[in-house]
Amino acid sequence: MSHPHPDLSAPPPLPPEGLRIVALGGLGEIGRNMTVFEFGGRLLIVDCGVLFPETEQPGIDLILPDFEYIRGRLDDIEAIILTHGHEDHIGAVPYLLRERRDIPLVGSKLTLALLEAKLTEHRIKPVTDVVVEGQHRAFGPFACEFLSVNHSIPDALAVAIRTPAGLVLATGDFKMDQLPLDGRLTDLGGFARLGAEGIDLLLSDSTNAEVPGFVTSERNIGPVIDEVFRTAKERLIVACFASHIHRVQQVLDAAVANNRKVCFVGRSMVRNMGVARELGYLTVPEDVMVDQKELDDIPGDRLVLVCTGSQGEPMSALSRMANRDHQIRITDRDTVMLASSLIPGNENAVNRVINGLTRWGARIVHKGNALVHVSGHASAGELLYVLNMTKPGNFMPIHGEWRHLRAHAKLAAATGVPDENIVIAEDGVVVDLVDGQASIVGAVPAGYVYVDGLSVGEITETSLKDRRILGEEGFISVVVGLDTSSGKVVAGPEIHARGAGIGNEDFDEVIDRIEAALTEAAGKGVNDVHQVSQIIRRTAGKWVSENYRRRPMIIPAVVEV
């Protein structure tokens, strides 16, 4: 997917006292968050995350922001500020550091620890700078202040960025849980103080802008989890994000209360919980943890498995259990709890996993039938609260699909932000803050960069289209031996099909058509291999369309003799 912005041209030079904001991801989509700030010829990046592929992107592992906009200016980057440790905010950092390894990474202790564990797998030793809420730091011309925000992962931060062009507040992902499990509140006093100082531009999380009211407190989930533990007949399998330390802590506490042992399943779960435990963000009671090798020795009614796969990821532990492709075999006495929200686009994958688990008789507990998860993003009531508290001169909704961005923009208008000061942008749109006014001035390329195994950026939309055709329609190969001096067929045509739903015995008619078309072409002096291939493709494609109403990929193979 690309964002050509046909109605917008390349941006003009940035005025000397202006601040430029370019989102390379995170606008019009949930994920791939990355925003570039420019002042005085220097760059500051906030977040650098990935987007996870959907079904129409077969074979793709990750989707990155397009770094082309900054590729020629890597030395101008002062730092990358990371608001929190979720993949959609830190997952693309290893790929950017491949291009310049010494870019300073700035974030909270947990965020950087999770990222460093990831970078070790990429064999990158980063330059890190740990910050805490309340701290002020300067990165070139960018004077930054960090504020605590409450989210579904500990240690999340908002960042206020001061330049001569004005004050910008980027909330990152946040909510306003007044009874958080770790006691760390969103710094509403800090938001109000900045509002009194005068916020020229507010960039605020839009994920739940359509949801009225306030998000339920994490504490309300505890009793529900306890009830699931009490009613589970034997094994309890809990699936959640590998970064949701608060939820895992609740599971550990419930396990101790119900005399159960806990085993982490899945590489990312084991890695992240190891980091959280080492840094003191996860309290693991003594003798509660067991290794996966010990599972057969523990009665099912004394065991809890905590694994990944709450979004139906194909290679996750839970998906493999549902497909009977895992050493842990689901039975009709197991209880499976999906302790997570459903990310838009994952509905079919999650339903497949639920159906697969139900097939083996498991009892499934999920957000649709029990309060086992609450969102980490502020709902409309909280967003209104922040808008009224900060009183921004300009407002730009971030982190959300188009419906979320527009809903958030309506909230801003309702609080009194003038329509001409509300900027709804998408990836690649260039926004300049000049003389206190934010406005769209142009656009830059901001397409998808696909990661497929070790390949980064080599897979194109054309490649994906071919994959979709192969997956949906199959292919037909036509092999022909051609005398290039005369253009006459000396061998074949020989036809093979896979996945096209056409038997080999049905190809006699199209073989005759191809022979006739090639004979006619030879009579006209056509002997170019490319032209012959095109004739074969058109003839075979037309025959399949007429007779089967299908459009498989036609692969001519012309052997020159």
Model pLDDT for residues 398-444, shown as the tens digit of each residue: 999 999 999 999 999 999 999 999 999 999 999 999 999 999 999 99
Query: Are residues 105 and 223 located together in one domain of the fold?
Result: no
Q: Mean pLDDT over all residues of the chain?
A: 87
Q: Is 511 part of a structural domain of the chain?
A: yes
Give the model's pLDDT for residue 85.
93
Q: How confident is the model at residue 146 (pLDDT cuts 50, 70, 90)?
A: very high
Structure tokens at 80: 């990358």
The DSSP secondary-structure symbol of 302 reads G
**Is residue 321 domain-resident?**
yes
Q: Give 162-214 as a DSSP string.
A: EETTEEEEE--S-B--SS-TT-----HHHHHHHHHH--SEEEEE-TBTTS-S-
Phi, psi for residue 560 in degrees, rounded to 5 = -80, 130
| Same domain, residue pair 356 and 379 | no
pLDDT greater than 60 at residue 505: yes
The predicted structure's pLDDT at residue 395? 97
SS (H, E, C) 228-288: HHHHCCCCEEEECCCCCHHHHHHHHHHHHHCCCEEEEECHHHHHHHHHHHHHCCCCCCCCC
**CATH code of 285's domain:** 3.40.50.10710
Give the pLDDT score at 233: 86
Amino acid letter for position 270: V
How many domains is the chain partitioned into structurally?
Answer: 3
Domain annotation covers residue 6 = no
The answer to whether the beta carbons of residues 67 and 97 sit under 8 Å apart is no
Reported as a pLDDT band with limits 50, 70 and 90, residue 503 is low
Are residue 333 and residue 421 in the same domain, yes or no? no
Q: Which of 365, 385, 417 is the last residue of a domain?
A: 365
Task: Say how many C-beta atoms besides its own lie within 10 A of residue 297's C-beta.
Answer: 7
- Termini Cα distance of the chain: 42
Report the phi/psi class of residue 221: left, alpha or beta, with left for phi > 0 and alpha for psi in -120 to 50.
Answer: alpha
Is residue 7 domain-resident?
Answer: no
pLDDT score at 1: 33
Q: Is 203 in the same domain as 289?
A: no
Residue 15, burial from CB neighbour count under 10 angstroms (0-12, 13-18, 19+): middle
Confidence of residue 3 (pLDDT cuts 50, 70, 90): very low
User: Looking at the structure, do residues 260 and 348 belong to the same domain, yes or no?
Assistant: yes
- Top mean pLDDT of 64-73, 333-342, 446-455 is at 64-73
Residue 511 confidence (pLDDT): 79
Give the C-alpha separation, 157 to 6, whole Å. 36
Confidence band, pLDDT 50/70/90 cuts, at residue 322 = confident
Q: How confident is the model at residue 348 (pLDDT cuts 50, 70, 90)?
A: confident
**Whether residue 481 is found in the same domain as residue 413:** no
* Residue bearing the bigger pLDDT, 179 or 194: 194
Looking at residue 544, which CATH number applies to its domain? 3.10.20.580
Residue 8, domain member (yes or no): no
Domain that holds residue 301: 218-365
Size of the chain in residues:
561
Rounded CA-CA distance 270/264 in Å is: 6
The pTM of this model reads 0.82
Report the range out of 10-19, 347-356, 511-520 with the highest average pLDDT.
Answer: 10-19
Quick check: is 40 in a domain?
Answer: yes
Residue 9 lies in a domain: no
Residue 326 pLDDT > 80, yes or no? yes
pLDDT (0 to 100) of residue 556: 79
Domain boundary (393, 424, 453) is at: 453
Q: How far apart are CA 310 and CA 321, in angstroms?
A: 12
CATH of the domain at 406: 3.60.15.10
DSSP letters along 105-142, please?
A: EEE-HHHHHHHHHHHHHTT---EEEE--TT-EEEETTE
pLDDT band at 2 (very low <50, low <70, confident <90, very high): very low
Statement: residue 463 has pLDDT above 80? no
pLDDT score, position 366: 82
pLDDT for res 375: 87
pLDDT of residue 197: 96
Residue 412 host element (H or E): helix 402-414
Task: Judge if 49 and 113 occupy the same domain.
Answer: yes
CA-only gyration radius of the chain, Å: 28
Out of 453, 475, 494, a domain closes at: 453
The amino acid at residue 35 is T
Taking alpha carbons only, the member of 409, 384, 374 closest to residue 27 is: 409
If asked whether residues 354 and 406 sit together in one domain, one would say no
Q: Are residues 34 and 142 in the same domain?
A: yes
ω before 418 within 30° of 0 (cis)?
no
Question: Do residues 163 and 53 share a domain?
Answer: yes
Residues 262 and 346 in one domain: yes
Q: Is the pLDDT of residue 167 over 50?
A: yes
Domain identity same for 163 and 247: no
**Is 1 part of a structural domain of the chain?**
no
Residue pLDDT, tens place only, 84-124: 999 999 999 999 999 999 999 999 999 999 999 889 988 99
